Homo-oligomer: A and B are copies of this chain.
């Protein structure tokens, strides 16, 4: 019997009521048991500074260790100023260093961008993809996931109530599971 891949789930917004967080929580439930999604906190990571490598902050060490153990990575993020939120990009920077010891290398991944507006975080989504090329993380291409108009998708308790989004995420999770399967072999 095969074991579900362990997927680190990174959320690009820190606020409690974030639409990205609600979407991530919904995805976690929908994707189970095919994918074992586990939220990894990025809020406590000090800004990357190479001088700190001499005495690595504990938060960096724990984060790096956590990502190393993952089979794959799922990003769910808002767009800040037409790009990736600084806090999410910082977690990528922390995991990518020191030189030659990136914890990201070779891990299959996927991106969902989330926005209250129509454009669905397109700018953040594709800027993140550019980093993933360098990090050598095979990134799911289709279906692309730009979740727009996201404020209307959840009820007051933050539960996903939009059926077409639920169907999309179900299909998305299946495609991501196949993508991980294909790319884990190597």
Contact = CB atoms under 8 A, between A and B. Distances in A.
Interface in A113-157: 118-120, 122-123, 126-127, 129-139, 141-142, 144, 146, 148
Contacts of A91: 86
A15 interface: yes
Nearest to A87: B47
Contact of A118 (B50, B93, B118): B118
B93 A135 contact: no
A93 B120 contact: no
Nearest to A136: B142
Contact of A47 (B43, B123, B137): B43
Contacts of A159: none
Interface residues of A, number: 54
A5 interface: no
Given A51-B15, A119-B122, A133 B129 contact: yes
A123 B130 contact: yes
Contacts of A34: none
Interface in A29-61: 43, 47-51
Given A49-B87, A82-B133, 9 more contacts: A14-B49, A48-B85, A85-B89, A85-B90, A118-B120, A123-B130, A129-B130, A133-B144, A138-B138
